[in-house]
Amino acid sequence: MISFVWPRGEPMLAGTGGSETYTTGHVRELLRRGIPAQVVTVGHGARGGHKDFTDIPFVSLRSQEELTSLAGQIVFVNAAYLVPTKQKAAIILHCVIPDVCERPEYQAFIAGKSVIATSVYSAQQWALYLDIPYSRIHIVLPFADPVFGSVVRSKPAKQTRILYAGRLHPEKGIYTLLEMLHEHVMRSNGHRVSIVLAGQHVEMGRTIARMLEGYRYAQLLPPQKTVPDMAELLSRNDILVVPSVYAEPFGMLSVEAQHAGCRVVASNLGGLPETNCGLLTLVEPRDPKALLKGIEQAVALGAVTKKQRTIARTNFSLDASVTALLAVLHM
């Protein structure tokens, strides 16, 4: 049994982030291979994620002390509990680097555990933060669910269909996107921009959503909570923009979009440059004109061909990711 232990105080909700997709994807593939796997939450009860992931085995513990009774391999996700485990545990650091005041706690977390990062960039940053050798960190790259590679694309439209999928939050570059939307060239070219609210609707997100109301070049859609829904949305768009202004550890949506046959225009920041499947254009962050230029460059490259999409699908497979994880766990 491999138990993926979710951070305390955080329910696992569908459509909210890369850590959720990474964890549930690994569990599904392990189960497909006949290897028992489950997600463990502490203190959430039925609110832990059971309703959003009905195909995933969940175990809800009342307290962290109950973790000591778990048999098999334990993989902590983003944060560990300071409790003894029956076997050597692993910790996957899929999150951004915490504040320096939390460093002693994280250093205590990793003691005696296998440490896993999800990109070269992330591994380098965690090594510096934790003051440990880079060689101490294993890299288990994220993946695109096979559904993205097999989704049938919609018929080409007269206008270039551009998609932003993510939380409406400044760190995701939403203000850069909003400024770009007001560029005259963007409006005159008639590009249609679809904006998807993914994740929880924090107050800042609601404020930005109100700013977009009535803006005819933007379309607000509800969160895409399932892999098939997200794949279908990508299949109806030509270019995905990822204008993040903070250094994301990786950028799973970029990989998923390329597998689905979309070109991607993303910030040259953090782990995003590592997501290239052959369809990625990098731009400077916080620069609306650079974002617009990157989109124009992607448009000029034309629609993704079947050959290009086939090549894209050879990168970041779920099978390779799980195989790498099992190697770290010596299984």
Domains in the chain (CATH in brackets) are: 2-143+318-328 (3.40.50.2000), 146-312 (3.40.50.2000)
pLDDT at 198: 53
Q: Which residues fall within 8 angstroms of residue 112, CB to CB, at 6 or more apart?
A: 88, 89
In tens, the pLDDT along 20-33 reads: 889 999 999 999 99
Of the pLDDT bands very low, low, confident and very high (cuts 50, 70, 90), residue 305 is very high
Sign for the CA dihedral angle at 306, 311, 314, 315 comes to negative
Please, are residues 111 and 82 in contact by the beta-carbon 8 Å criterion?
no
DSSP three-state, residue 59 = strand
Residue 3: beta bridge partners? 38, 74
Report the DSSP pairing between strands 263-267 and 239-242: parallel
The pTM score is 0.89
How much is the mean pLDDT over the chain?
A: 87
